[in-house]
Structure 1
Amino acid sequence: MLGSIGQRGLWVLLIALLGVGPVWAQEIPSEPAPLPQETELYPPFDDGLPQQTFDSVELLSLAANNNTELNALRDSWEIALATLPQIEGLPDPVLTAQYAQIPGFANPQFIHRGYVQVGVTQKLNGYGKVPAREAVAELEVKVRHKLYEERLNGLFTEIQKNLVELYNVESQIQIKRKHQFMIDHLIRVANVKYSVGKGAQPDVVMAQTERTKFESELSELWGQRKKILLSLRYLTGSDELPEGRAPVPDWPHEVELTKENLLKTAEQYRPQLWALRAQIEKAEARIRLAETEDNPDITLALMSRWFQYQPDGLMLTVSVPLPFFNKQRYHSAVVEKEREKEKAQALLEEAREKIELGLGRQLVEVETALDQYEITENTLLVQARQLFRGSLKSYETGEYDFSSLILAQHTLLNIELALVKYRTRSSLAVAEIEGLTGLRMVATYPLPKEGLN
């Protein structure tokens, strides 16, 4: 982490610690240093960002209504729900009516006489078929519902990560705008010194060059901000987003939760795991359905014949198909569904392993970022501020050259940017943890520092 400051920054810090001028005799406070915008180092400035803050729940609501992929999954779920009443329980009975005229050559005794035959036919499903079909249809609804919720969970995670990235870019804009205003102050100081013959023209040129560099970097950051806003527009499916800036991410200060607890949370709340468990249940129901396919459907037929307008007979027919030639097909269907169940079980185990691996990595990321943030804020930031104050005072009194002052400012700038980077890394990891567990507001709980093995 110290390597990111740069060798020149370390050299300046070393000089500061060894003591340059009376300012270095000041005692370094043990309390964490205040945030940059709260110090007298920077003049008041306008960062150019909107005043209102984005609401992640409001953005998710927009996505739930407008995101095309989410709408397609919701339609699929509603289609499966609409098929439930269509499951055929008992087929409708069939009414048949027949009239026959007996020809005279067949029996002269009944010439010009006929009979009427009326019948009702009812098909009965084989034993266990209807409950198995209903179970398969209900579990299909559950699977599609959980897939919809999983995509919603993924959208929320992507929105949160985009907001964290937006916070990262906007924080860099704020920091560099502050240093740009500080450069404006240094330009005025250099001009005053040059006008009275105590400074050099290269000092002014160097300061103006630094300001131009800040303008270029700020232009790039504003471009990055536009790209993130375009990503948010795509995720929410909205043509226009309300004006806003990123909210400040929650920052964990206590560390108690373990990976084991988060794995239990994922088992309880992650929609993906619910969907895969429902897939296993559906595969079991399809096995039961395949096992009932050779249960014969029974057909009952009741017929009454009328001759000369008087009842002449009543007949009951029972038809039962004999599964002699399709036994192998029925057996193959059962084997196929058993393989589908094994596949669903393997997918569930794979998902659990990926969640466990992801949680382990993100917990390490949170722990590392938290430690780096604390070290940088409580030690390096304090020293860099003292170094810059001392360098500025020494330059104004003619005891320090301008290049050393700019170097001190770069050191302070890099440390402030490092704080933003560590906070961003931690917040991105928190968003990933929420996505992996399927439980929103994980960031409100203490985050783990033990139990990472």
Structure 2
Amino acid sequence: MNSRIVLLAIALVITVTPGLSHAAEPVAQETLLTLVATALANSPELKSSQAKWRMFIAKARQAGSLDDPMFMFKLQNLVAREPFSFGGSDPQTAKVIGISQQLPFWGKRAIREEIAQYEAESYRWSLEERKLELVRMVKETWYQIYAVDRSIALADKNLQILTDFMAIAESKYSVGQGAQQDIYKAGLEKSKMLDMQITLRQQRRSLEANLNYLLARPDTTPVAKIPDFGLPRFAMTAQQLNDLAFAQRPRVKELSSLANKGSAAHRLAQKEQWPDFNLSFEYMFREAVNNEMTKDPGYNMFTVGVTFNLPVQRERRQAMAAEASSEKNMAQEELNGLRNSIGYAISDTLAQMERLQKLAELYQTGTIPQAEQSLESAVISYKVNKVDFLTLLDSRISLYNYELGYCHALAEYMMKLAQLEAVIGVDPAEQQPLPTPASDKPHH
């Protein structure tokens, strides 16, 4: 029969299509916490950012240090006609050693160190912000894989259901109670499901490669099927989450450090109106002179001196102050913009999470059980010729779409939670955890 040829062709496609069969060897199960820790430990970008932060810490230690003292040695007032006579012929000839030290005006050195520390601190918080982004991407990819895994499982289940439908249709056709087009229709639906299955498996491989990229490990490393989970709850309001974000978000602290750096730079620009000093000490070794022209006992001498610059270039110093003020204002306005974006992101994400949570509960407690009952009733009615085959297929498609919507609602809720964690800087579910209701248990 033609129906048997269709069945044989479908079985052949399943057999020869690469990637449709499960791996022969079991893959070790990894937890999300393990993967996050691996990503944080292996990421080349994080290692680069950490090295940059340490570089600026070293710069901060340098900024507060004095310049090296200068040592001086000279032969003073040598007689030109006797260049190698270093003493004894002229009382003004002397060997001189000296030392000098550059001293910035009081307070400048401390402010320079403060500026460098604020800059190093900003890079530290930039590193922490990058960690948050990496964790968010790992978690989003993880839950995308979960959704694809559940979609593949649903496709497998529906292929078996369609096989059963085809067997029922063939049985009815063999006794003259069904139409041959019902068999063809079932075969076509199986082909569509196979096409969807191929697409899902390709998506799975792509997501797996992306996760391995985020973890900085070989892209062929397999990722095991992700187990079911319940939806975490937290009782914090949007305002509480905003307050938590302003206290914990690394980006907020980074911009605050840059604003403080600008304030310190402005104070340094004001200090530049005062001169820097150079203290020096010189000691002259002289020799006694006793000849027909002069007589000198050759007492040793020393010189103490101080020099300082004259801060008369006011335009340059005014420009320094203006630059520092602009840097502070820029960081402050970026911080204000970040506060606005945090408030919007929290409100929008909470609204979407509430929708997804209610949608998942509706699927689990109402829509899916009703669709299962509808499909069961349709199967019974089709066997006794009370409904046609299209009604049976429609019931099957409705159940499949609802189950698909349920697993996607779970995955999207967790992805939104990961995004919320990146917005506020910590996992809100760990701040004020509540017991998970029974209705949040995954549907099997």
The TM tier, using the shorter chain, reads: 0.7 to 0.9
Deviations 1:344-373 (A, max 9, x none): 000001111101100100111011122222
Q: Which residue number in structure 2 is paired with residue 71 of structure 1? A: 47
Q: Which residue number in structure 2 is paired with residue 30 of structure 1? A: none
The alignment covers a number of residue pairs equal to 397
120 and 250 in structure 1: CA distance in 2 versus 1, 3 angstrom threshold? same
In angstroms, what is the RMSD of aligned CA positions? 2.5
Q: How does 1:225-236 map to 2 (within 5 A)?
A: 225-236=204-215
Correspondent of 1:295 among 263, 266, 274: 274
Residue 72 of structure 1 aligns to which amino acid in structure 2? S
Q: Which residue number in structure 2 is paired with residue 204 of structure 1? A: 183
Deviation at 1:88, TM superposition (A): 5.2
Is contact 2:208-2:223 (8 Å) kept? Answer: no
Residue 319 of structure 1 aligns to which amino acid in structure 2? T
Deviation at 1:446, TM superposition (A): 5.1
Q: How does 1:152-171 map to 2 (within 5 A)?
A: 152-171=131-150
Correspondent of 2:351 among 351, 364, 368: 364
Q: Which residue number in structure 2 is paired with residue 223 of structure 1? A: 202
Q: Aligned to 2:273, what secondary structure does the other structure show?
A: coil
Q: Aligned to 1:101, what secondary structure does the other structure show?
A: coil
Q: How many Å separate the matches in 1 of 2:163 and 2:359?
A: 31
Q: Which residue number in structure 2 is paired with residue 15 of structure 1? A: none
Q: How does 1:301-316 map to 2 (within 5 A)?
A: 301-308=280-287, 310-316=298-304
Q: How many Å separate the matches in 2 of 1:215 and 1:154?
A: 36
Is contact 1:266-1:436 (8 Å) kept? Answer: yes
Q: How does 1:228-247 map to 2 (within 5 A)?
A: 228-240=207-219, 241-247=221-227
Q: Which residue number in structure 2 is paired with residue 13 of structure 1? A: none
Deviations 1:27-69 (A, max 9, x none): xxxxxxxxxxxxxxxxxxx994866444233323333344333
Deviation at 1:142, TM superposition (A): 0.9
Deviation at 1:412, TM superposition (A): 1.2
Deviations 1:197-249 (A, max 9, x none): 33332222221111111111111111111221222122222223343123435
Residue 266 of structure 1 aligns to which amino acid in structure 2? A
Deviation at 1:95, TM superposition (A): 2.2
Correspondent of 2:378 among 370, 391, 397: 391
Residue 162 of structure 1 aligns to which amino acid in structure 2? T
Unaligned runs of at least 5 residues, structure 1 = 1-45, 448-453
2:34 pairs with 1:58: yes
Deviation at 1:312, TM superposition (A): 3.5
Correspondent of 1:101 among 68, 74, 78: 78
Q: Under a length normalisation based on structure 1, what TM-score does the superposition of the two structures give?
A: 0.81
2:228 pairs with 1:248: yes
Q: How many Å separate the matches in 1 of 2:64 and 2:240?
A: 45
Is contact 1:103-1:111 (8 Å) kept? Answer: no
Q: How does 1:296-445 map to 2 (within 5 A)?
A: 296-308=275-287, 310-324=298-312, 326-440=313-427, 442=429, 445=433
104 and 54 in structure 1: CA distance in 2 versus 1, 3 angstrom threshold? closer
Correspondent of 2:120 among 127, 141, 144: 141
Q: How many Å separate the matches in 1 of 2:409 and 2:71?
A: 78
340 and 134 in structure 1: CA distance in 2 versus 1, 3 angstrom threshold? same
Q: How many Å separate the matches in 1 of 2:146 and 2:197?
A: 15
Is contact 1:365-1:425 (8 Å) kept? Answer: no
Q: How many Å separate the matches in 1 of 2:428 and 2:236?
A: 14
Q: Aligned to 2:299, what secondary structure does the other structure show?
A: strand
2:61 pairs with 1:85: yes
Deviations 1:87-129 (A, max 9, x none): 3522222222222434689xxxx74664222222222122111
Between the two structures, name the one with larger relative contact order (CA 8 Å, sep ≥ 6).
Answer: 1
Amino-acid identity (%): 24
446 and 262 in structure 1: CA distance in 2 versus 1, 3 angstrom threshold? farther
Q: Under a length normalisation based on structure 2, what TM-score does the superposition of the two structures give?
A: 0.83
Residue 391 of structure 1 aligns to which amino acid in structure 2? A
2:103 pairs with 1:124: yes
Is contact 2:375-2:392 (8 Å) kept? Answer: yes
Q: Which residue number in structure 1 is paired with residue 151 of structure 2? A: 172
